[in-house]
């Protein structure tokens, strides 16, 4: 039996169980929830139930899966902002935000290992493994709840820089294509445009043209998985270096330098700006992460661009 305090209040019961029941397979956690073995105040609840202070949660015995005892190595990342409530970092490309799907550990596990005294540290949102840039973590449950509320209400301003090849025309273009998430035959998580998918909205602002390439700012109005990548690919402008939805022949070509053009061995997608209301002070906060050096070098080697 666990009594819910103010720090746990407001979170969904499934997320609470996944955090408490470390080592228990995710599928098993959801199975005991669906079967009613987890009780809140002696009653059954849906997996979407949000805990309240004072709730009494009964968690049944569960078997922990056998796992590799290799611990995540402690690591710190470039800090963009830190205070009593928040830790905001500049995540490098190629690093997952958390373990799972063939990845033993990610940013969150490495930061927890580096900060063993931290009582609370949770991801506020996620970035794809191949995407770099601003990543927010909460150091208090109240901060996490407040920021999740801003995300749900569309009050968090997320901006990305991305590069595509082609004749992009509009200075400002809205893309509203419904997105459906599925699992491919190889087990990879994928997303496609589908009529019965979730409503999804991205605004693309043309920043500069570099010969055959175009630098865009992507402004997220919804936060679906792979949203920017699929919206651009479905519009005929896949992101340079995207190994899931991109132009694979172009990607192979760009991995090798050619004359003055340097090689690009990553996806050109970077979360460069994020704005929100601070969960404690209520002040407006905007955090920036400069374009990574490898992306900047690639741009600098392209023909002199035309400002939009």
Query: Is 90 among the catalytic positions?
Result: no
Cα–chain center distance at 298:
24
Bridge partners (DSSP) listed for residue 244: none
Q: Can you give the C-alpha Rg of the chain in angstroms?
A: 21
The DSSP code for 30 is H
Q: Which of 167, 163, 177, 161 is nearest to 238 (CA)?
A: 163
Beta bridge partners of residue 219, listed in sequence order: 159, 203
Kindly report each contact of residues 227-233 with a partner whose C-beta sits within 8 Å and lies 24 or more positions away, as own/partner.
Answer: 227/179, 227/191, 227/200, 227/202, 228/160, 228/162, 228/202, 228/269, 229/128, 229/191, 229/269, 230/177, 230/179, 230/191, 230/192, 230/193, 231/175, 231/177, 231/200, 231/202, 232/162, 232/164, 232/175, 232/204
Task: Indicate which residue of 14, 55, 128, 247 is catalytic.
Answer: 128
Residues 297-302: contacts with CB within 8 Å, 24+ apart?
297/262, 298/163, 298/261, 298/262, 298/264, 298/268, 299/163, 299/210, 299/215, 301/260, 301/261, 301/262, 302/210, 302/211, 302/213, 302/261
Element (H, E) at 209: strand 201-210
Terminal alpha carbon distance of the chain: 60
What are the residue numbers of the active site? 128
């Amino acid at each position: 039996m666990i009594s819910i305090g103010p720090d746990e209040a407001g979170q969904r019961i499934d997320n609470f169980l996944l955090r408490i029941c470390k080592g228990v397979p995710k599928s098993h956690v959801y199975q005991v929830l669906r079967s009613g073995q987890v009780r809140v105040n002696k009653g059954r609840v849906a997996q979407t139930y949000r805990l309240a202070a004072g709730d009494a949660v009964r968690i049944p015995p569960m078997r922990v899966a056998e796992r590799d005892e290799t611990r995540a190595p402690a690591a710190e990342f470039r800090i963009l902002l830190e205070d009593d409530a928040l830790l905001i970092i500049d995540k490098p490309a190629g690093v997952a935000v958390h373990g799972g799907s063939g990845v033993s550990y990610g940013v969150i596990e490495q930061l927890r290992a580096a900060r063993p005294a931290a009582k609370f540290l949770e991801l506020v949102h996620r970035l794809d493994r191949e995407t770099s840039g601003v990543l927010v973590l909460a150091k208090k449950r109240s901060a996490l709840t407040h920021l999740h509320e801003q995300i749900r209400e569309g009050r968090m301003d997320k901006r990305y820089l991305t590069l595509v090849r082609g004749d992009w025309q509009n200075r400002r273009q809205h893309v509203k294509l419904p997105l459906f998430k599925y699992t491919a035959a190889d087990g990879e998580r994928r997303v496609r445009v589908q009529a019965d998918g979730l409503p999804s909205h991205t605004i693309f602002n043309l920043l500069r043209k570099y010969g055959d390439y175009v630098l865009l700012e992507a402004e997220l109005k919804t936060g679906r998985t792979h949203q920017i990548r699929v919206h651009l690919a479905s519009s005929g402008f896949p992101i340079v270096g995207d190994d899931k939805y991109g132009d694979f022949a172009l990607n192979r070509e760009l991995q090798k330098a050619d004359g003055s053009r340097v090689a690009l061995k990553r996806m050109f997608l970077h979360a460069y700006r994020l704005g929100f209301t601070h969960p404690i002070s209520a002040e407006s906060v905007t955090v920036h992460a400069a374009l990574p050096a490898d992306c900047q070098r690639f741009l600098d080697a392209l023909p002199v661009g035309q400002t939009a």
